[in-house]
Copies of this chain bind each other. A is one copy, B any other.
Amino acid sequence: MSLIVQKFGGSSVRDAERIRNVAGIIADTYKAGNQVMVVLSAQGDTTDDLIEKAREINPRASRREMDMLLSTGEQISIALCAMALEGMGLPVVSLAAWQVGVHTTGAYSDSRVQRIDSERVQRELDKNKIVLVAGFQGVNRFGDVTTLGRGGSDTSAVALAAAFGADLCQIYTDVDGIYTTDPRVVPGAVKLEAITYDEMLELASQGAQVLHNRSVELAKKYRVNLEVLSSLERKPGTKVKEVVKMEKTSIAGVAKDTSVARIAVVGLEHNPGVAFRVFSLLGRANINVDAIIQSIGRDTSKDISFTLPRADVEEAMRVLEEHKSSLGFDHLTVEDKIAKISIVGAGVMNTPGVAARMFEALYDANINIQMINTSEIKISVLIDEEDAVTALRAVHAKFFGNGD
C-alpha cells in the first residue's frame, strides 16, 4: 500500500462539475489500494473575490486579517470535495490547517511551513479515510492563521508528503506535464517523462512556471517524488526526482523570459570593492540581480551591467542614484526591451558542444547575443525582446527538432 499526496489547483475545483472530476481521480487512486491525502486550493476566482471584498472595505488591511479572510477559500474547497466523495460512498474527512497542525513561521501572507503534526491525519488514515487538507494555510505560534504566499498550496502538498514520507506527490494542474519549452509558443515542444529538481528549478525561474520554486526546493530537500499532471486527462505527467535517465539529450528544456531588464552603471571608478558595494546596496533593497557583466572602459573607469526583474528597475535606479556620489559613477542606462533565452539540463556545461550549438542556432537565425550567463545546468543569453520567439523556436529546434 502506497501513500499518495495529490494536489489540485483552483481551476481544477472551480465548479461542481470540476469538483466531481477531482473526486473521481481521488476515488480511483483510493480504490487502487492506496492511502490518499489531498491538498486543495480555493475555487477558481474565490481568492480574487475575497481580495475585492477586502479592498472595498480597507485597501490597507493588515496581513493578519487578510490571511484570516483568504484561508476560508481552501476550507470551502475541501468541504465541497469531501461532500462529492461522500456522494460516491467513500470514507473521507476534510481538515483545515489548524486541525492538521500545519505550523508556520515568519510573516503573515508569506509564511513558511515549520513542522506538521502527524497525529490527527494519521488517525484518519488509520481509519482508512481519504484525508482532504486545506492548502495555502497554516497556524503560527500565536495561534493565528497565516498563508504561504505564491504557490502556497504546492508547498502544502510537498510539506505533507515530506512529513508523512509519501511515496508520491502528484501536482495536478491545467497542463499535462513539463515540456521542453512553452508549447503555446513552440508547436514542436515535447513533454518530458522526467526531470531533475535542479532542472525544474532552472526552467521555472527562467519563465516556464508550472511548479512554484519553493515547492520544488522543498521537494529536493526532502527527496519527495513529484509528478506534474493534468486533472482533465487521465494520463501520466512528468516526474520530478533526483536522478533522471535522459535518453537522447542532456537538455531538459528551453525557456524564454521577457520579464527582465538590464541596468548599466557607466563610468565607475576602477577601484577595488566598487562592484561589491553596488550589489550589496541592491541586496539590502531586496533586489534580485541575475547575470552580471563587467567591462573595463577606455581609461581608468569601468562599466557594470546586470539583469534584474523589470518590476525592480525603478527601485534599483532610486537606490543607485541615491548613492551616486559615494559609488562614484557617471550615469545609469536602462534597457528593458530585452529577453532571456536559456537552455537547461543536468551537466549542460560539461557536455561539449552544447553551448556552441545554442549559439549556432541563434547565429543562423540572425539574432544578436548581448550577454551570456552560465551555471552548472544552464546557459542563458540576453537578446532583443523582439527576437525572443524566433530565438526560442530556433534553439528548441536545434536540440529537439521541429516536432515532425
Contact = CB atoms under 8 A, between A and B. Distances in A.
B144 A57 contact: no
Interface size on A, as a range, is 35 or more
A53 interface: yes
Contacts of A54: 79-80, 83
Interface in A124-146: 143-145
A148 interface: no
A68 B78 contact: yes
Contacts of A71: 75
A98 interface: yes
A69 interface: yes
B72 A76 contact: yes
A320 interface: no
A62 interface: yes
A60 B76 contact: no
A325 interface: no
A69 B65 contact: no
Given A68-B75, A69-B76, A120-B143, A83 B99 contact: no
Contacts of A64: 93
B65 A83 contact: yes
Interface in A88-124: 93-94, 96, 98-99, 120
A87 B58 contact: yes
B20 A57 contact: yes
Listed from nearest, the 7 A-B pairs whose CB atoms lie closest are: A69-B79, A61-B83, A72-B72, A58-B87, A58-B83, A68-B79, A16-B56
Interface of A: 16, 19-20, 50, 53-54, 56-58, 60-62, 64-66, 68-69, 71-72, 75-76, 78-80, 82-84, 86-87, 93-94, 96, 98-99, 120, 143-145
